[in-house]
Amino acid sequence: MQNSESKHDVFQAIADPTRRRLLQLLSENEMSIASITKCFSISRTAINKHLKVLSEAGLVTSQRMGRETRYKLKPEPLSELKQWLSVFDQYWTSKLFDLKKYVESDDENQ
């Protein structure tokens, strides 16, 4: 499943909560490293390392604009995650249906 261009796969990249938060931030808008760093209580160096992993997984792109680098979400690789999770849709649908039946039968017994 790993793209020949990337060193990290999507699953590895999103395994870390800081990287998931970075993706959330970048889903809202493009940001500079300075803006990103203000949203976390970790160092700029640590943020850069997380951005590198996300970039190597193809989830983030960067563009140099003057003296700063701006980062932007590239959501296309997340389709691999969505595809994998869709396998479990039937499981959850079944469990929610069972819960609905249970709740409705309990209401009838009261």
Q: What is the pLDDT, as a whole number, of residue 4?
A: 44
Q: Any idea where the domains of the chain sit in the sequence?
A: 10-108
On the CB side of 17, CA atoms within 13 Å amount to 2
* Distance (Å, whole) CA 36 – CA 70: 10
- Two tokens at 17? 């909560």
pLDDT in tens, the chain (110 residues): 444 455 678 999 999 999 999 999 999 999 999 999 999 999 999 999 999 999 999 999 999 999 999 999 999 999 888 888 888 887 778 878 888 888 888 666 65
The architecture CATH gives domain 10-108: Orthogonal Bundle (1.10)
- Cα 48 to Cα 15, 60, 76, 86: the distances in Å are 17, 12, 21, 32
3-class DSSP assignment, residue 62: strand
